[in-house]
């Protein structure tokens, strides 16, 4: 039987296991929507295409599945670009389907024509312009394969309207292969043996994990490994949840706003084993002093991550999980007892640093943002999927909530996209309708995709938004305070504009506000209990800062622990 392009697209998506699509319609994808109407796909209609892209991303991060987003040509397509770049920087598997003007019109500046494959070439893992219906089924198969395999990432498929209307016989797609881009999954034996020997000799080892542990589903193997050899663990922002935040070996996040003890430990260690880390500048601080006493072993599936920023001694190009399984097997054949015992001094030293510079803050008259997060953690017992916006709110969430499971912390790390958290939380709530999903937000960021309140209300998605309302673009203000002599140029955003409670109500959601420390718990209790979407406005200390802080380009040991105190 002959099918049209739209039918082939949906069939090919179904073959990939897709049942949910985030999108927004328009002229060039009317045919696809017409087929969707007759199908069993769940299409979540957002209010802005950026929201669709972030929602597909949140769906992917929380579920580990490929997130799918469908938008029209021209402005629909360009509106997804921030979402695509966000996913690309954090290696999130996504397929973005964009409409395109009919093939004979391409290149004529037709109405709503934009060269979206050209625009997204540097921020997709790959992209396709499908010029003929016979390529369609194979292209969809290839797109999903590329999005999922190796280091995951977003893939865009641009579909001209005439291709969607053409007819052809449906043929099962062939298995793709990626030539030189085909990832290496299994590690070489040599460097693994070397690593085991280094572990045996090391007096002060540290494990540093990143997002690769989560993408590679390597948490169980990582926990086994860390405990087998008794090595303390720190993580990048992207790795949070990859190792339990309540484990005794856990040191918290490192880097610019990392814990004092993690930053001290990494600077003093003699062996650094990294798993799924790409050494962002926010993590390393000054490169010359980063782990400068250590032999560095780097496990990563992407060969371009190796020696890009930090020169490593033992590179292991491999899927994280395979490498850890093999390391664990090798270690079992060695005298582990001895390795474990030798660690006492080092663990004690880290304990001393923890006492010297604990994660803390001072209570005051106003609500402290950190206190809101701690209370949220206590009340939920950590059993939640937490998305964040960007800025101070994001860092406090990373510092004061403990993530015990992978795929429970959704945050824009690489791109730092304000407006990411709320739509991402919506995507996660679609993937897990019965779980508690919270977006920890700033008063600035939440306004970047606030329109998605309508989506949450319409689909009865009970996302809880916790706004840490400091009346400022707080993180930028913090830099102005520290580096620009308190000239707060264009960072004051007023606090009470808009009235978030009334705004929530206008959308048909519940709005709550807390202004005194004593109200935090009751407000959270009421908000978390409510069966629908809630916006909670916590009016917090306006000029609170995120500490510890390593100034950009400074060494990790060069931390400010609180206003005026350097260490």
Partner 1 sequence: MDVQEHTISLLVHNKPDVLARIAGTFSGRGYNIENISANVTMNPKITKITIVTVGTQATMVQVENQLKKLVDVIQATHMKSRESVRREMVLVTVGGDREKVMKAVGELGCRVLKEKPDHFVLEVTGSKEEIDQALTYLETLDMKDMSRSGMVVL
Ligand X SMILES: Cc1ncc(C[n+]2csc(CCOP(=O)(O)OP(=O)(O)O)c2C)c(N)n1
Other Cβ atoms closer than 10 A to 218: 26
Nearest approach in angstroms of CB 306 to partner 1 is: 8
Which DSSP letter does residue 184 get?
P
Nearest approach in angstroms of CB 198 to partner 1 is: 23
Is 395 annotated as catalytic?
no
Nearest approach in angstroms of CB 494 to ligand X is: 11
Distance CA 278, CA 270 (A): 20
**Among 176, 416, 498, 532, which residue interacts with ligand X (rule: CB under 6 A)?**
416
Q: Which does 121 bind (CB under 5 to 8 A by kind): Mg ion, partner 1, ligand X, none?
A: partner 1
Is 475 annotated as catalytic?
yes
Residue 541 near residue 369 (C-beta atoms within 8 A)? yes
Q: Which does 140 bind (CB under 5 to 8 A by kind): ligand X, Mg ion, partner 1, none?
A: none
**Among 35, 90, 268, 443, which residue interacts with Mg ion (rule: CB under 5 A)?**
443
Options 94, 448, 475, 559, the catalytic residue: 475
Distance CA 281, CA 346 (A): 26
Nearest approach in angstroms of CB 415 to ligand X is: 8
**Among 56, 71, 163, 390, which residue interacts with ligand X (rule: CB under 6 A)?**
390
233-235 sheet: strands from edge to edge: 250-253, 233-235, 205-209, 271-275, 295-300, 314-317
Distance CA 359, CA 322 (A): 34
Is 204 annotated as catalytic?
no
Nearer to ligand X, 213 or 540 (CB): 540
Is 111 annotated as catalytic?
yes
94-100 sheet: strands from edge to edge: 42-45, 20-23, 67-71, 94-100, 154-160, 126-129
Nearest approach in angstroms of CB 416 to Mg ion is: 14
**Among 83, 150, 153, 474, which residue interacts with Mg ion (rule: CB under 5 A)?**
474
Query: Per CB under 6 A, which of residues 425..444 are in contact with ligand X?
Result: 442-444
Closest CA to 251 of 240, 262, 236: 262
Q: How many residues bind ligand X (CB under 6 A)?
A: 20
Nearer to ligand X, 8 or 237 (CB): 237
Options 49, 142, 389, 544, the catalytic residue: 49
Nearest approach in angstroms of CB 178 to partner 1 is: 5
Residue 455 near residue 88 (C-beta atoms within 8 A)? no
Q: Annotate 499-518 with DSSP letters as a single string.
A: -HHHHHHHHTSEEEEE-SGG
Q: Which residues bind partner 1 (CB under 8 A)?
A: 117-118, 121-122, 125-126, 129, 146, 178-181, 302-304, 307-308
Which DSSP letter does residue 367 get?
B
Options 65, 112, 194, 481, the catalytic residue: 112
Identify the bridge partners of residue 562 per DSSP, sorted by sequence position: 565
Nearest approach in angstroms of CB 420 to partner 1 is: 23
Nearer to partner 1, 171 or 308 (CB): 308
Closest CA to 515 of 337, 414, 357, 368: 368
Closest CA to 49 of 553, 451, 411: 451
Is 251 annotated as catalytic?
no
Nearer to partner 1, 115 or 224 (CB): 115
Distance CA 496, CA 473 (A): 14
Number of helices followed by number of strands (H, E) in the chain: 23, 23
Place of tokens 């009334």: 502
Nearer to Mg ion, 51 or 444 (CB): 444
Binding string, 454-493, against ligand X, x = CB under 6 A?
A: --------------x-x-xxxxx-----------------
Nearer to ligand X, 5 or 391 (CB): 391
Identify the bridge partners of residue 448 per DSSP, sorted by sequence position: none
Distance CA 479, CA 109 (A): 43
- E strand or H helix at 536: strand 534-539
Nearer to partner 1, 307 or 363 (CB): 307
**Catalytic site positions:** 49, 111-112, 161, 475
- Binding residues for ligand X, rule: CB under 6 A, are 389-393, 416-419, 442-445, 468, 470, 472-476
- Binding residues for Mg ion, rule: CB under 5 A, are 442-444, 470, 472, 474
């Amino acid at each position: 039987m002959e099918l049209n392009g739209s039918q082939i697209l949906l069939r090919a998506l179904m073959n990939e296991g897709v049942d949910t699509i985030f999108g927004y319609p328009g002229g060039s994808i009317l045919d696809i929507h017409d087929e969707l109407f007759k199908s069993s796909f769940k299409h979540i209609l957002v209010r802005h295409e950026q929201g669709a892209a972030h929602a597909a991303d949140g769906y992917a991060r929380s579920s580990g599945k490929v997130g799918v987003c469908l938008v029209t040509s021209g402005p629909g397509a360009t509106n997804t670009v921030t979402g695509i770049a966000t996913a690309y920087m954090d290696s999130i598997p996504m397929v973005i389907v964009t409409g395109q003007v009919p093939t004979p019109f391409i290149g004529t500046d037709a109405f709503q024509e934009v060269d979206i494959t050209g625009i997204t070439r540097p921020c997709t893992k790959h992209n396709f312009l499908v010029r003929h219906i016979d390529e369609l089924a194979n292209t969809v198969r290839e797109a999903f394969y590329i999005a999922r395999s190796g280091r995951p990432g977003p893939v865009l498929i641009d579909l001209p309207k005439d291709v969607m209307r053409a007819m052809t016989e449906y043929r099962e797609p062939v298995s793709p292969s990626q030539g030189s881009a085909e990832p290496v999954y299994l590690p070489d034996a040599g460097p693994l043996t070397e690593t085991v020997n280094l572990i045996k000799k090391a007096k002060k080892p540290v494990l540093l994990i990143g997002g690769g542990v989560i993408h590679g589903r390597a948490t169980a193997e990582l926990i086994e490994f860390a405990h087998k050899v008794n090595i303390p663990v720190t993580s990048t922002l992207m790795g949070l949840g990859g190792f339990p935040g309540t484990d005794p070996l856990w040191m918290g996040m490192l880097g610019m706003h990392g814990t004092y003890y993690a930053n001290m430990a990494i600077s003093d260690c003699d062996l650094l084993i990294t798993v799924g880390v790409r050494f962002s500048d926010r993590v390393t601080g000054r490169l010359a002093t980063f782990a400068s006493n250590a032999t560095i072993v780097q496990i990563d599936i992407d060969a371009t991550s190796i020696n890009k920023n930090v020169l490593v001694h033992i590179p292991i190009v491999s899927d994280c999980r395979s490498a850890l399984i093999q390391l664990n097997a090798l270690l079992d054949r060695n005298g582990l007892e001895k390795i474990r015992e030798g660690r006492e001094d080092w663990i004690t030293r880290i304990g001393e640093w923890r006492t010297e510079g604990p994660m803390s803050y001072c209570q005051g008259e106003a609500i402290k943002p950190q206190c809101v997060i701690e209370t949220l953690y206590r009340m939920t017992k950590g059993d939640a999927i937490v998305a964040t916006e960007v800025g101070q709110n994001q860092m406090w969430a990373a510092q004061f909530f403990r993530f015990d499971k992978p795929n429970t912390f959704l945050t824009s790390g690489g791109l730092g996209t304000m407006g990411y958290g709320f739509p991402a939380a919506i995507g996660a709530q679609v993937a897990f309708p019965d779980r508690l999903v919270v977006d920890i937000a700033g008063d600035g960021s939440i306004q970047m995709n606030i329109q998605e309140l309508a989506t949450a209300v319409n689909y009865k998605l009970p996302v809880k938004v916790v706004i840490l309302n400091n009346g400022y673009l707080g993180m930028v203000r913090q830099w102005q305070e520290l580096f620009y002599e308190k000239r707060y140029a264009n960072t004051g955003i007023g606090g009470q504009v808009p009235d978030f409670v009334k705004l929530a109500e206008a959308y048909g959601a519940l709005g709550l506000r807390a202004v005194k420390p004593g109200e935090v718990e009751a407000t959270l209790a009421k908000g978390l209990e409510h069966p629908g979407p809630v916006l909670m406005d916590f009016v917090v200390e306006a000029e609170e800062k995120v500490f510890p802080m390593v100034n950009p380009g400074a060494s990790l040991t060069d931390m400010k622990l609180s206003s005026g105190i350097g260490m």
